[in-house]
Structure 1
Amino acid sequence: MWNMIGRVLDHEMKVSEFIGVLILIGIPYFVIGVIWTLTHTSHLSNVDSPLDTVISFLGSIVCWPVLTFSNVTMT
């Protein structure tokens, strides 16, 4: 078991491989965040400034995992 973990951790990756992994993880995270935010926009009606609305919308996309498990509104 420890030998297998050591082999995985010793694997060398190029920078382009790291970027590819981040993209493969980031695209589904972003898509799910956009879908979740578009279906949960009730907190945006209380925001007065257009800039605050944009920041709150983007914050909801980034923080969607936390917001699914709590009743926190980003206002």
Structure 2
Amino acid sequence: MLRTIGRTLDHKMKVSEYIGMLILIGIPYGIIGVVWTLTHTSHLSGIDSFWDQMISFLGSIVCWPVLTFADVTMT
């Protein structure tokens, strides 16, 4: 088993393969973030400026795992 793990970790990847892997991981993360943010928009109603709302919306998409945990512990 350790030999298999060692061979897996020793595998060399090209930069393009790393970029592809990040895209494959980033797409589901982004979709889940957008869905979570669209269902939890109550915090945006108290913000007056459009740009502040936009930054808060994008921040919610990026930070949805932390906000999910904070939402569970604060209610």
Please report the RMSD computed on the Cα atoms of aligned residues, expressed in angstroms.
0.8
- Moved >4 Å (runs of 4+): none
5+ residue gaps in structure 1? none
Quick check: 1:57 aligned with 2:57? yes
Give the TM-score normalised by the residue count of structure 2.
0.89
Q: Which amino acid aligns with 1:13?
A: M
Give the CA deviation at 1:58: 0.2
Matched, 1:43 2:43: yes
Specify the SS of the correspondent of 1:47.
coil
Gaps of at least 5 residues in structure 2 are none
How many correspondences in the alignment?
71
Paired-residue identity, %: 75
Specify which structure has the higher proportion of helix.
Answer: 2
